[in-house]
Structure 1
Amino acid sequence: MSDENKQNLQYFEASSMQKIYELLQNWQVENSKRFLSLSIQKDCDKFCCIALTNPTEVVITSSDGRYHAAVLADHGGDAFLKAGF
């Protein structure tokens, strides 16, 4: 597993919810990652956020590692998993 994929916790703090939103939005754009979950709490005069990010990469393979699954999208926009066996 690459070092980039080992840490999935992020911390943000700002003076308002709008600023927290801007920090989160900018972080997503800069890092090309999505958040899995967020917890935002007010702490004195700040808004604090602990965020859990999605893993960078998940590869589904057969037990021997020879075959990989592919995620395909149909024209309706729904994704489905197709085993490459």
Structure 2
Amino acid sequence: MRALIGTILVMGMMAATSAVQAQTYDPRYPVCVQVATIDGTSIGCGYGTLAQCQASASGRGAQCFANPYYAHANKKASRRANQRHQSLNW
């Protein structure tokens, strides 16, 4: 029983020390930054413009990029909107 408890504790400690920082793509923001540190890389989205992100990334090991999960990206017009548009352009 003690060996089982010891094994569980060791496994839990190993998992806690090797935990990776979560990379979040917040769909509310169009621009993200990837920061490289000695511990690895992390991604955070919270910038409204590329210029804001670049100002924050300046002087650090960081790179800005477009958020692939941005909620307003690539929204297609509805079929009805397309039909209205086509009817106006004879």
**TM-score interval, smaller chain:** under 0.3
Which protein shows a greater Rg? Answer: 2
Return the structure number with greater strand share.
1
After TM superposition, the score normalised by the length of structure 2 is: 0.25
Return the structure number with greater helix share.
2
